[in-house]
Structure 1
Amino acid sequence: MEVLDLSGTELYDLPAEISQLDHMKRMHLSFYGPDDESEYELLPCQLVSPSFLSEMEGITSLSISVHPEDHRWTEAVACIVNDISKLEMLSSLYFYFPEIEMFENFIETSSSWNNQSLSKFDFAVGQDVKRIVSRVPDDVESLFSQHERCLRYVNADKTSSLIKSVITRATAFYLDHHTDIRSLSEFDISSFRSMKFCIVRECPKMQAILDEKNARGAFPCLEYLGIYFIWELRQIWKPLSQASRLNRIFKAKNFEALKYLMIKTCPKLRFIFWESMLLCLASLEELVVEDCEGVEKTHTCLPTGAG
């Protein structure tokens, strides 16, 4: 067997004998995981054998979908990541890394990542939870997952150089509840040069999406920006103290490809744009602002000496 596609199913477990399929090229798996902890007593104690990939050296495409809170996955995933790191032919990977350190180890050691043969990926990194109702609309999350190189960074508290290196290759980025970050500039603006789709959700300390200090040519390919439940957000782009320097930055055409801007439930936001920013938004087709009771106007002038 070379192809095993069980995506969209609800497997209870995977038999250990699957490891004997050493000619496997493409494997897509989807596991059932209960929301009720008591149900685990009725399920197999092991989701997969930690070494089930050890003989499948020729895999080119691998997708494993699991319940994010399934402790059986947490118990097996470190060994699985170790085997995935050795797959030199891997070109497509859909995978959930429940620990950030585990993901960073993968990035450091993966043959396919470091030789850049891994051209399609969808990574969820951090301790995820299953939400009955998401604060980001289903259609928006679906659009995110349609991109070829996706990174969802969830329940995080740091911005490491390895995360930045992944963002550099990603075309879609979903920052979901980062507890410490104050703006996306902390990931290094140069990391976002290939980004087409970006969602920012529930970052309790974020006050601006972009700090203009190091933002020359920021997000040149970005087409969609969604901002959801950023309670402390004061402004989308934070201006420099000198208007002349600000004007030089806007000559770099920041956000020149932006078509859709969605802002929802940001109660401290008073306006959407500085007036000089409008020059950068020639491609903007749709602006949606919902449940932002503090918003008084769409744009305002930059005050003298503002910073």
Structure 2
Amino acid sequence: MELPPEIGELTNLEVIDLEGTEIIYLPNEIVKLIKLSSLKVSFYRYANNYQERRVWVVTTSLSNLSRLHELRIDVNPDGDWWDVEVKTIIHDLCSLRELRTLKLYLPTIELLEELIRDSPSLICPALTHFRFIVGRQVERFLSRLPREVEEEFNNLEKSEKGLKYVNGEGIPIKIIEVLKHANAFSLEHHWTVNNLSEFGLQNMDKLKFCFLVECNELRTIIDAKQFYQEGDCEGDDSNESEQYSYFNEEKMVLGSLQYLSIHYMKNMESICQGSVGKGCLSNLKFLALHTCLSLTTIFTLKIAPRSLTFVDLKYSDSKSGHFLPNLKKILLLELPKLVSISNGLCIAPKLERMVIFFCPKLVKLSTMEVSSKDLKVIKGENEWWGELKWHESDLSSDHQDYLASMFVPLRRDGDLMAQFTKD
């Protein structure tokens, strides 16, 4: 819980790693460690009085640690005391000329604005690695997310540039400024956003990982109308062919994204609304949809008003398996209204694993949705598999037996999350 003041006598110390501990505060003597290059610390609880719970007391200044190359600070989000402390840290960051890695919790947008204002070159080009948590976090005693999903996001962010925006409203300009440089983006409990495109698809060109949780107003991920706006196109029916040409030739929609994980969306209707080019999500390897109560179809062939549309076959080479060409794993968990994956559209020629759990209306599949020669396993409930029908009326018994050989039943009496991820 505490470091003794004698730590200041270790003048040759270069690394302090206190991640995952229950440290209450750091002693003033930390500033004597002028050779320190890496400081990682977790503050997880209050002390009994205000003086003890001071993290950086008045006489302590990070600016003394001029050789600091890495600074990672975790904070338990159980009070507003950190708002004061982090201001001192933000003020000192501008003097840390060698800083390349920064992990920081910023409870308000104003603190992010202050950070960018005081150190405009910090995020780019100075920082090679960062993770910012922006917005007031609420501590949860029981996570509603699969543990493996949270761990994968945290592990990825150790080597990437990550932005986590929680309990937000609107699209603050400073969030956009950071998002432009981020490889990982987590959006949790946003109160007003209707689709991810509102953040500007051009601002997410570098994203490899996207994690979306409990955004109750979110209807879709990609809204094709955003393309018209970004490209100064009107989007009327009379110019439809020109619009499609514009999409296909110039727009690689989320072309760098490899991991898309979506959880607890009350009103989400689709992955995409409107038609986009075949380059859309072309590098996606993992797709997870978990408890999306209004989702009925993930990918469809039709283009109609209010339809759940992902791709128009006139502008994608579906027969050659070019749609979602790198998708390897798909998880469909607790989607009570889901009736179709792709309506027979040939997708994912490299698909290796498919997990389907509590999708009671998904009573039909097409071999075009499981056409990959690399497919190794289909996991689901025994009852679901026993009642499953195939769209193809001419499906041979040998082919059915071949698909059945890949099926692995999920046990309701076991650890479901462990079964989802186990090879």
Kept in 2, the 8 Å contact 1:87–1:110? The answer is no
Matched, 1:27 2:70: no
Task: Note the alpha carbon deviations across 1:45-96, whole angstroms, 9 max, x for none.
Answer: 4233254313222211001111112433233111111112332211001111
Q: Which of residues 328, 331, 336 in structure 2 aligns to 1:288?
A: 331
Quote the Cα distance in structure 1 between the aligned partners of 2:32 and 2:271: 53
Q: Which runs of 5+ in 2 are unaligned?
A: 1-12, 228-250, 302-309, 312-317, 346-423
CA distance in 1, matches of 2:112, 2:99: 16
Map of 1:1-307 to 2, 5 A cutoff? 1-33=13-45, 40=48, 44-49=52-57, 51-110=60-119, 112-113=121-122, 115-147=124-156, 148-215=160-227, 216-239=251-274, 246=275, 249-251=276-278, 253-275=279-301, 277=311, 279-300=322-343
Find the residue that maps to 2:24 and give its secondary structure. Answer: coil
**Percentage of identical aligned residues:** 31
Select the structure of larger CA radius of gyration: 2
8 Å contact kept, 2:290–2:333: yes
Alpha-carbon distance in structure 1 between the residues aligned to 2:256 and 2:327: 13
Q: Point out the more displaced range, 163-172 or 254-263.
A: 163-172
Q: Return the letter of the residue paired with 2:134.
A: V
Q: 1:204 to 1:73 in 2, by over 3 A?
A: same
Contact 1:135-1:228 at 8 Å conserved across structures: no
CA contact (8 A) 1:9 1:30 kept: yes
Which whole-Å deviations, capped at 9, do the CAs of 1:146-178 have from their partners, x for residues lacking one? Answer: 232111111111212221121121111100111
Q: For the Cα contact (< 8 Å) 1:122–1:145, is it kept in 2?
A: no
Structure 1 counterpart of 2:236: none
Residues in 1 aligned to 2:174 and 2:50: alpha-carbon distance in whole angstroms = 40
Measure the CA separation in 2 of the matches of 1:115 and 1:281. 32
Alpha-carbon shift at residue 43 of structure 1 (Å)? 8.7
Q: Which digits, 9 at most, give the CA deviation of each residue in 1:237-279, with x for residues without a partner?
A: 011xxxxxx3xx314x010011111111111111111236365
* Cα distance between partner residues in 2 of 1:296 and 1:145: 33
Distance between the aligned counterparts of 1:217 and 1:154, measured in 2? 27
C-alpha distance in structure 2 between counterparts of 1:267 and 1:14, whole Å: 46
* Structure 1 residue 234, shift from structure 2 partner: 1.0
Instruction: State the SS of the aligned residue for 1:273.
Output: coil
Q: Report the secondary structure of 1:289's partner residue.
A: strand
- Aligned-residue Cα RMSD (Å) equals 2.2
1:112 is displaced (CA, Å) by 4.9
- Name which of structure 1's ranges 280-289 and 91-100 shifts more when overlaid on structure 2: 280-289
Distance 2:342 2:332 in 1: 13
Indicate the SS of the match to 2:21: coil
Shift in CA distance, 92/45, structure 1 to aligned 2, threshold 3 Å: closer
CA contact (8 A) 1:12 1:31 kept: yes
Report the AA paired with residue 274 of structure 1.
Answer: T
Contact 1:199 1:226 in 2 (8 A): yes
**Rounded Cα–Cα distance in structure 1 between residues aligned with 2:287 and 2:180:** 22
Relative distance call for 1:19 and 1:72 in structure 2 (3 A) is farther
User: How far apart are the structure 2 equivalents of 1:43 and 1:200?
Assistant: 38
SS at match of 1:7: strand
For normalisation by structure 2, the TM-score amounts to: 0.64
AA of the residue aligned to 2:333: E
Return the TM-score normalized by structure 1.
0.87
Looking at structure 2, the residues matched to 274 and 86 of structure 1 have their Cα atoms a distance apart, in angstroms, of 54
Cα distance in 2 between the residues matched to 1:281 and 1:80: 44
Displacement of 1:6: 1.8
CA distance, structure 2, for counterparts of residue 114 and residue 41 of structure 1? 35
CA-CA distance at 1:13 after TM superposition: 1.3
Structure 2 Cα separation of the partners of residues 99 and 14 of structure 1: 24
8 Å contact kept, 1:88–1:111:
no
